[in-house]
Structure 1
Amino acid sequence: MRILKPLALAFLLPALGANARSLATESTGLNPQALQILAQDTTSWTQPLPFDDGVITGKLENGFQYYIRKNVEPENRVTMFLAVKVGSILENEKELGLAHFLEHMNFNGLKHFPKNELVDYLQRAGVRFGSDLNAYTSFDETVYQLPIPSDDPELLKNGLQVMRDWAQDALLDEEEINKERGVVLEEMRGSRGAQQRMRDQYFPLMLNGSRYAERLPIGTEDVVTNFKPETIREFHQKWYRPDLQSIIVVGDIDPKMIEQEIKRLFGDMKQPKSPQDREKYTVDLLNKNQFMVVTDPEMQYTVGQIFIKHPEEQVKTVGDYRRSLLKSTYNEMINSRLSELMQSADAPFLQAGIGISEFLGGLDNLSAYYVAKPGAIGDGFKSIVRELDRVDQFGFTESEFARTIVSMQKNNERAYTERDKRRSDSYVDAYLNHFLKDNPALSDEDSYRITKELLPTLTLSEVEAIGKQYYVDQNRDVLYLAPDKEKANLPDEAAVNAWFQEVNQETLTAYDDKVSDLPLLAAEPAKGTVVDRKNIDVIEAKSWKLSNGATVVLKPTKFKNDEILIHAFGPGGTSLYADADYFDASNAASLVNSSGLGQMTTVELQKYLSDKKANISPFIGERTQGVTGSADKEGLKTAFEMIYGYFTAPRIEDDVFKSTISRAVSSMENRENNPSFVFSETIQKSLYGNNVRRVPANAADIQSISKDKALSIFQERFADASDFTFMIVGSFTEEEITPYIEQYLASLPTTNRDNAAKDLQIVEPEKGFEKIVNKGKEEKAQVRLSFYGDYAFNEKENLNMDALESVLSIKLIERLREDESGVYGTGASASYRKQPSGRYGFHIGFGTSVDRYESLIQSALDEIRKVKENGPTQVDLDKFFIEQRRQHEVNLRENSFWLNSLNEVISNEEDFKSIINLQEDIQNVTVESVKAVANKYLDETKLFKFILLPDAK
């Protein structure tokens, strides 16, 4: 279960809403005269937005609502959500945290699934706890999710019964309540750290002293520890009622049958005799500016933030939707400018963003943030304000505006093209927000049509007016979050106001939109040829050998209407370079990727690609180098041009190089403050000494990188395509793809040299040990138990290792979380490799209290002992089988699965049939075979215990 934290500090702008993604001017189907008439005739803009006509909706007599939609992607699957308009905002002082606690209890005893039978039953149906079966609690709502197979009538029926039990039939048994207290306290403990400590200080300011600041969903330790069972039962009775609830069912189902079942199951839900009003709380505007500085010894960066709050603008009508498009256009254009600024040689910040978005409690806001470079707090702030002022004074250019509108049009067209392949999960948010917030829920057709009609009516002056409306000097908060050691360098409110004034009095110049009219490549390459074609019948794919020696593996699919994925690799990588050249080699690809390509600079390339679905990036790993990316059919030529460009015309620009090095070094300034970094670094150094290829780079390492050396290494690694393998998966035909392969892949340079990667023989120590790290203020422990050693890589061994991971994860959750109430989350994870030599890692991790970590380690090791002595239970093994089979059914219809599987099989020289033979191969996994693998690899002499504890007192 996750707690939703709408205001959690992420340093990232909120994503634009799905309905603000849009499409192409040239494809509007409207002539200029018609567009002019539409732009002038605004009467239709007052019309309410139409509701999705592909959804069956209804409200039962008791007030319970439902949304049902048939959608066949993925086949034989259905996603169910239960939304409850109940969150922490409704709690009184004795109930702080009980909305969230109640969410937990809905997994610990229901009318038809007492105790932990719910999780057990669903695992036996192939549903994964945490990744599939989940829930969240926020200020204003609690939402439960259950994706399940829909081809089993009994399972479908029981899934609906789960939703009904969640709605009103939690047992709330006292013993289970008391056991769950420890789990919630551990969840609370795990979230403690610099972010939480600072949030507790700045939330009252950000939320204007409203009730929201006092109602964090996690609650308080005192209430969670001491509330009486009757209190949560009363909360449940008071708020879990039909008029505040809705079910959303989207998937491969019979909607009419589902509707009848909903009426049967939910129609008898009762309202309280005297239902309490569900009050709507707000964050009031104070009509003043606020300022605050918050520091913490474990904070890694200095972050400056500006929040300018405004009354919420709800999207109800076509005109409202049009305004949302204007805001999206503003966000896109101003952030493109910041991105360009960040690539300058002396970038004034490490990261930055600006955006107009929904806030909380009936407010919207314009927010701006930047992550300061050490010693440049004022420079970063003024650079953000300068860009806001520049737009306020000069606006945007016509070319910026036109480019952004075309990009939005293209996005709209792409979304519409894929409408019949749209996954069920992607529909749910719209219906959730329609129920919870009365937001619009447009059909695919209406979203496409309205966006297509409205985008050409947007004007540059309107976008600029949006900026002027939101960028004002009222209801503005300025907040600084920083490490304790930066206290002396942080501004006070007077200094910040002086910075605003200083920028305001500067003589700014208008933005110069630099674009290139040159083609990406200086000349078209001479075509090569396909010299050999072979069928890979077992997976319905083809393997071609090109005239330059390169191999192409093609897997055409119909899983998406217009998605093509590309991945290529050749042997070598950084393993071919000495330690002295390692940082040049390991950073070469990212430096090239951040620079321009062919005849275009970085900025020109970004603008050139803005309206294209073509994204190709080079990489250099330890044993391979290559390119990876995606395109649609329209962008496919550009994608292949980029591939050819990276092989033949890469560059590292001076400004990009200087900016990247400077920002990388600056980002390391305070990382020793972060307990997680210190823990991770200690683990790596304990396992690999000071090997530069395994431990985190330091500032001197990054400063040692030579631009010329990095580019030379990149060119060297991509000078010989003769042993590269290109894998292409997606919606293409041989006829469509062949010209691009001949023109851009068969023409790649070759030297026919030996590129075989070296075995660096970097392995973990033979014998395990214990390492305790003391770092951090909070009284909490983090434990990682790891086993390392040689591994016999083959399909049978791999499946048994996966099964061991699964069954141990089940046992660890049952023992450490459910039985001992000692952790919030735990689990096992296995990793294994074939090249350069067979090796494995097997890990168990959890967080807990300082006084319990030792006993919980023993409990975890006891569960390992049981599997080694007795093997897993058949019940747990059956859970693994069904989960694997169900997941594989879905995976086989995903382009990304096929690309990853082809890469793995080809890299490891395995049989292609292993991709599809799971159902057959898994039959070889037994209780005894898993037991044997556990004994083979979970040898206590190879156990490494890593423990993070607070600073020594």
Structure 2
Amino acid sequence: MAWFSVFCFFAATTAAVSASGDTHSSPTDTSLCLTSGWPQDQSDLTPDPALTFGLLENGLRYVLMVNHEPENRVALFLNVQAGSIRETEEQRGVAHYLEHMLFNGTTHYPPGTLVEYFQSIGMGFGADTNAHTSFDETVYKLILPSGEPAFLEDGFRVLADYARGALLLEEEVERERGIILAEKRSRDSAAARVWKRQLQSAFAGTLPAERDPIGLEEVIQATDSQLLRSFYDRWYRPENMIVVVVGDMDPVDAAGILTRHFDPLTGEGEVGACPEFGTVAESGLDILFFPEPELGYTGIGLTTVFNTVPQPPTSQRSAELFQQFVAISLLNRRLQQLERQPDSPLSHTSARSSVFLQRIGYASLGARVKSDRWQEGLDILQRTLAQALEYGFTAAELDRGKREISAMLEKAVQTTASRTSRDLAATLVSKLNNNEVILSPVQERDLYGPMLDSMTLEDVDVAFRDLWDRPRRLVEVVGVPGPGLEKNGAEEVIRRVFAAAAAEGVVPWVEPEWKPFPYLPLPEKNGVITEKIRHQAIGVETIVFAGGVRLNTKVTDFQANQVLFSVQFGTGRQSEPLAGMSPIAEAVVRESGVGGLNWEEMAAALAGTNAVLDFRVGPESFSLHGSSLADEIELLVQLAYTRLHDPAFRSDAFGRAREQLRQMYEQMVSTVEGVHQLQGEAILAPGSREYGLPSWEQMDRVTLEQIAAWLEPIFSQEALEINVVGDIDPEEVARLVGSYFGGEKRYQQEVPPAQPIVFPSGQHHRLTVDSSTDKALVAVAWPTTDFWDITVTRRLNVLAAVLNDRLRVDIRQELGATYSPRVISRPSRIHDGFGLMISSLTAAPDQAELLAAKIREIASELGRKEISEEELRRALEPTLTSIRDMQRTNRYWLESVLNLSHRHPQQLQWPLTIREDFSAITTTDVAALAERHLHEDMAATVIITPDGET
């Protein structure tokens, strides 16, 4: 359960109307506060023919869609079109509080039974049963483990209870209060505080600026059953709800069962009056200076905001928004080029535009900078915006943008059958609440493709000016305050800097001429195959070439037209000459492009394709990993071949990589979570490069020359394991790999033995963080064993699930002391005999010691007290469901089975036993592991609190 916002200044660009449920023309006309009908009723567009739309007599609407990925799974979403902007001043936070309460007692599920019931039928709490509250919606989500009628009956019964069966018992309200306050604390961060301040500044004068979904602490503290009931009866009514059903089910059965459960429901009392939404200022220059040193970087931005009115989702409106989308995409490309210029002050650049809640239009561009270069960065943003407004874009830019967007539309069509029911249901809810006609990928391509083909530079320039040629400007400098920005007078300083930048003249943008790819010649010799191995039981084929190259292929049909690809080589972090080299080496290789093309030249050369390839330094190996559509497999092979044979280690890329990592570390050292990654995990696994992160001091000593000297011989000499999974022709893949790599002479480096780790059993460590966030992190860990006895590894995973569930009940539900306790098993893949069982949670600093003791006590009881069959089943059934889903993904076969299977051939046997082995786990198995590993005197504790807290 969570609250979130659908708005963020740095959210993804959208080409669709963002609309709330409001269709009223007057805030006093309460009869029109609720929506009715469907977006297509106001449009000339026809919705996806795969959808079935229905309406019950009580006004409840529903949408059904058959989908077969994953098999036997059905997503049921109850979409209540009311969120925090429906609250009164006295109810601020009640919409989110109410979301929590519907898991704590309804007509058919007394308090304390619903989550346990979900688990017993194979649904994970959080993964398959969740909800969220936003400004204009509260959405409840169930992912059923089967589409059989019996499961649909149970699922619709639960949703109907959410809709009108809430008990809202006073004792449960009191019990949940602590959990909500714990959630509020867990989500507090410098980034969250900055985002809220940005929203308040840009949207001042409107409800969203005042209605943060998490609410006010004084309201949360005072909330009672009566206050919750007032919101529930006013907005939780059939005519304000849409049920979305997507999955592997019979739609006739689903419609009948849905009708039986929802048709009797009725609203209580009067429909709530729509509150006055308000308006934003549409003119003037506003300055937002919000110092927040814990953010770790200085953020700068320019924004324009304007009021708008709801518009029907017609094809004409779609065309207008699509042109704006294209224009913003072109501006984004300019910013990326500026970011990658030598000694650029900019990083993490972005340009965005959208319409929020159908009432507020906005456009923005922003970046991160070093604090001492904020003026230079702001000047670049202003000049870039002025340049686009005065001179528009170029033909070359538009051509590239068209190719990129066309490829995106085509990929959506080719991967239609691979969409998951969960993702589809979420998309349907979002589009319905945004008043969008739901189109299939083919319909979207057929709608936007011709628009794209006929779009002119004039169309794009007009669309861009329509967004930005407005009298309102918001200039913001947030985060780490730069020179000259003392607290008093900072806004005036920013105003003067911006005025000076705006007064400068600009010249037209000059788009570079881009180079083609691929540019390396095809090797003259094909590879000689020395061995073919068919792993019949799992459908994998291995081909061994004479010169140290090995190919594994796996054909799948559950992710149509998609391919995953990896090249494994070397020993990864184990071969680091200096600790701390891996993160910066990853970033340098990524940012450098290749020898013949820098990053931006490579991006331009690949425009219009869907192939991507990245570099990673893992604990056991280096890897090139990527994906593409099935007809682009040769491009993936070419990209890997070029990465290995013409690598680049550019100085400007090194500078960008260091700055990006510096910003990340500056942010991490101000959070309890970050300090745990940087220091806490090093305490639990001392000397290991598999756990935690290196210090910034270690990375800061790394030079570009050291990275190149480390990686160049590895790229050119190390033996290669190439893995390809997906909708492929294995013979064609073998031909391509043989042509590009088969003739090579490469050698397998000996894997060095990892140093043994001495776990700090019985130790208690206190760390502090320089932070104003009132939050502590508690981590308790126990030593286990390494990864390679797979039967033990699987049972340790179940032990972690059992312990996690006990913490959920005892610490979250009973004590209300934390929002989301987490237990994970992390067996080592490189340290013989070593692994960790780690429990972690965030809480109030003054409760940290008490909760650490409680975790140790609960864990030690697992070995002393009997684990019931019911408790095991609640942990095991969701695991079995997730295994079934997991095995129908390319990612499972690539990452868990094929990658490094030449070193660990036992991985090829694991798919044959995974379901049966998990199903065979007993309470005795789990209790024995608990007795072996979870003794209280074996535990190590790390508590991280804000500086000054005890």
Q: Deviations over 1:379-414 (max 9, x none)?
A: 111111122122223322212211211221122222
Judging changes above 3 Å, is the alpha-carbon distance between structure 1 residues 361 and 497 closer, same or farther for their aligned structure 2 residues? Answer: farther
Q: How big is the shift at 1:515?
A: 0.1
* Contact 2:327/2:461, CA 8 A, preserved across alignment: yes
Judging changes above 3 Å, is the alpha-carbon distance between structure 1 residues 812 and 667 closer, same or farther for their aligned structure 2 residues? Answer: closer
The answer for the alignment partner of 2:339 in structure 1 is: 342
* Contact 2:859/2:936, CA 8 A, preserved across alignment: no
Judging changes above 3 Å, is the alpha-carbon distance between structure 1 residues 836 and 745 closer, same or farther for their aligned structure 2 residues? Answer: farther
In the alignment, which of 633, 649, 657 is matched to residue 660 of structure 1? 657
The answer for the alignment partner of 1:450 in structure 2 is: 447
In the alignment, which of 159, 167, 178 is matched to residue 174 of structure 2? 178
The within-5 A match list for 1:326-725 is 326-360=323-357, 362-483=359-480, 488=485, 491-493=490-492, 495-517=494-516, 519-579=518-578, 582-584=579-581, 587-665=584-662, 668=665, 672-684=669-681, 686-687=683-684, 701-722=698-719, 724-725=720-721
Judging changes above 3 Å, is the alpha-carbon distance between structure 1 residues 196 and 607 closer, same or farther for their aligned structure 2 residues? Answer: closer
Q: How big is the shift at 1:922?
A: 1.9
Q: Deviations over 1:560-618 (max 9, x none)?
A: 22111112212433423433xx4556533432232132532322111011211221223
Judging changes above 3 Å, is the alpha-carbon distance between structure 1 residues 602 and 455 closer, same or farther for their aligned structure 2 residues? Answer: same
The answer for the alignment partner of 1:6 in structure 2 is: 6
* Contact 1:573/1:717, CA 8 A, preserved across alignment: no
State the alpha-carbon separation in 1 of the partners of residues 914 and 692 from structure 2: 37
* Contact 2:52/2:64, CA 8 A, preserved across alignment: yes
Judging changes above 3 Å, is the alpha-carbon distance between structure 1 residues 757 and 610 closer, same or farther for their aligned structure 2 residues? Answer: farther
Q: Deviations over 1:310-334 (max 9, x none)?
A: 3447561112212222122122222
The answer for the alignment partner of 2:271 in structure 1 is: 275
Judging changes above 3 Å, is the alpha-carbon distance between structure 1 residues 96 and 603 closer, same or farther for their aligned structure 2 residues? Answer: closer
The answer for the alignment partner of 2:86 in structure 1 is: 90
AA in 2 matched with 1:389: A
Judging changes above 3 Å, is the alpha-carbon distance between structure 1 residues 407 and 705 closer, same or farther for their aligned structure 2 residues? Answer: same
Residue aligned with 1:634, SS: helix
* Contact 1:382/1:500, CA 8 A, preserved across alignment: no
State the alpha-carbon separation in 2 of the partners of residues 682 and 517 from structure 1: 46
State the alpha-carbon separation in 2 of the partners of residues 842 and 691 from structure 1: 16
Structure 2, unmatched stretches of 5+, are: 19-41
* Contact 2:76/2:142, CA 8 A, preserved across alignment: yes
* Contact 1:681/1:696, CA 8 A, preserved across alignment: yes
The within-5 A match list for 1:790-869 is 790-791=785-786, 793-869=788-864
Judging changes above 3 Å, is the alpha-carbon distance between structure 1 residues 283 and 798 closer, same or farther for their aligned structure 2 residues? Answer: farther
* Contact 1:775/1:948, CA 8 A, preserved across alignment: no
* Contact 2:594/2:643, CA 8 A, preserved across alignment: yes
The answer for the alignment partner of 1:323 in structure 2 is: 320
The answer for the alignment partner of 2:187 in structure 1 is: 191
The answer for the alignment partner of 2:288 in structure 1 is: 292
In the alignment, which of 212, 215, 222 is matched to residue 216 of structure 1? 212
State the alpha-carbon separation in 2 of the partners of residues 748 and 17 from structure 1: 47
Percent sequence identity over matched residues? 22
The answer for the alignment partner of 1:39 in structure 2 is: none
The worse-fitting range, judged by mean Cα deviation, of 763-772 and 592-601 is 763-772
The answer for the alignment partner of 1:885 in structure 2 is: 880
TM (norm. structure 1) is 0.91
The answer for the alignment partner of 2:26 in structure 1 is: none
Residue aligned with 1:916, SS: helix
State the alpha-carbon separation in 2 of the partners of residues 753 and 556 from structure 1: 27
State the alpha-carbon separation in 1 of the partners of residues 559 and 787 from structure 2: 37
Judging changes above 3 Å, is the alpha-carbon distance between structure 1 residues 768 and 464 closer, same or farther for their aligned structure 2 residues? Answer: same
Residue aligned with 1:893, SS: coil
Judging changes above 3 Å, is the alpha-carbon distance between structure 1 residues 239 and 842 closer, same or farther for their aligned structure 2 residues? Answer: same
The answer for the alignment partner of 2:156 in structure 1 is: 160
* Contact 2:299/2:477, CA 8 A, preserved across alignment: yes
* Contact 2:246/2:425, CA 8 A, preserved across alignment: yes
1:759 aligns with 2:754: yes
AA in 2 matched with 1:787: W
In the alignment, which of 269, 284, 302 is matched to residue 306 of structure 1? 302
Q: How big is the shift at 1:758?
A: 4.0
* Contact 1:345/1:657, CA 8 A, preserved across alignment: no
Judging changes above 3 Å, is the alpha-carbon distance between structure 1 residues 823 and 703 closer, same or farther for their aligned structure 2 residues? Answer: closer
Q: How big is the shift at 1:887?
A: 1.4
AA in 1 matched with 2:126: G
1:226 aligns with 2:219: no
Residue aligned with 1:80, SS: strand
* Contact 1:532/1:545, CA 8 A, preserved across alignment: yes
Residue aligned with 1:406, SS: helix
State the alpha-carbon separation in 1 of the partners of residues 903 and 3 from structure 2: 40
Judging changes above 3 Å, is the alpha-carbon distance between structure 1 residues 244 and 507 closer, same or farther for their aligned structure 2 residues? Answer: closer
AA in 1 matched with 2:520: L
State the alpha-carbon separation in 1 of the partners of residues 112 and 302 from structure 2: 46
Q: C-alpha root-mean-square deviation of aligned residues, in Å?
A: 2.7
Paired residue total: 922
Q: Deviations over 1:756-802 (max 9, x none)?
A: 23424455435533324254334432211112354473121111101
* Contact 1:618/1:646, CA 8 A, preserved across alignment: no
Q: Deviations over 1:154-198 (max 9, x none)?
A: 222110111111111111111111111111111122233434545
Judging changes above 3 Å, is the alpha-carbon distance between structure 1 residues 161 and 627 closer, same or farther for their aligned structure 2 residues? Answer: same
Q: How big is the shift at 1:834?
A: 3.7
Judging changes above 3 Å, is the alpha-carbon distance between structure 1 residues 670 and 783 closer, same or farther for their aligned structure 2 residues? Answer: closer
Judging changes above 3 Å, is the alpha-carbon distance between structure 1 residues 433 and 48 closer, same or farther for their aligned structure 2 residues? Answer: farther
* Contact 1:556/1:729, CA 8 A, preserved across alignment: yes
Judging changes above 3 Å, is the alpha-carbon distance between structure 1 residues 557 and 204 closer, same or farther for their aligned structure 2 residues? Answer: closer
Residue aligned with 2:371, SS: coil
Q: How big is the shift at 1:535?
A: 0.6
AA in 2 matched with 1:113: Y
TM (norm. structure 2) is 0.92
Judging changes above 3 Å, is the alpha-carbon distance between structure 1 residues 517 and 271 closer, same or farther for their aligned structure 2 residues? Answer: closer
* Contact 2:514/2:601, CA 8 A, preserved across alignment: yes
AA in 2 matched with 1:426: D
State the alpha-carbon separation in 2 of the partners of residues 423 and 747 from structure 1: 40
AA in 2 matched with 1:709: Q
Q: How big is the shift at 1:275?
A: 2.7
Q: Deviations over 1:10-66 (max 9, x none)?
A: xx441546999xxxxxxxxxxxxxxxxxxxxxxxxx972212222111222221111
Judging changes above 3 Å, is the alpha-carbon distance between structure 1 residues 151 and 746 closer, same or farther for their aligned structure 2 residues? Answer: same
Structure 1, unmatched stretches of 5+, are: 21-45
State the alpha-carbon separation in 2 of the partners of residues 189 and 633 from structure 1: 46
State the alpha-carbon separation in 2 of the partners of residues 343 and 70 from structure 1: 45
The worse-fitting range, judged by mean Cα deviation, of 113-122 and 463-472 is 463-472
State the alpha-carbon separation in 2 of the partners of residues 321 and 621 from structure 1: 44
* Contact 2:45/2:314, CA 8 A, preserved across alignment: yes
The answer for the alignment partner of 2:36 in structure 1 is: none
The within-5 A match list for 1:55-94 is 55-94=51-90
* Contact 2:761/2:782, CA 8 A, preserved across alignment: no
The within-5 A match list for 1:138-149 is 138-149=134-145
Residue aligned with 2:328, SS: helix
Q: Deviations over 1:95-122 (max 9, x none)?
A: 2211111100100001011102111111
AA in 2 matched with 1:325: F
* Contact 2:357/2:434, CA 8 A, preserved across alignment: no
Residue aligned with 1:256, SS: helix
The worse-fitting range, judged by mean Cα deviation, of 598-607 and 814-823 is 598-607
The worse-fitting range, judged by mean Cα deviation, of 274-283 and 735-744 is 274-283
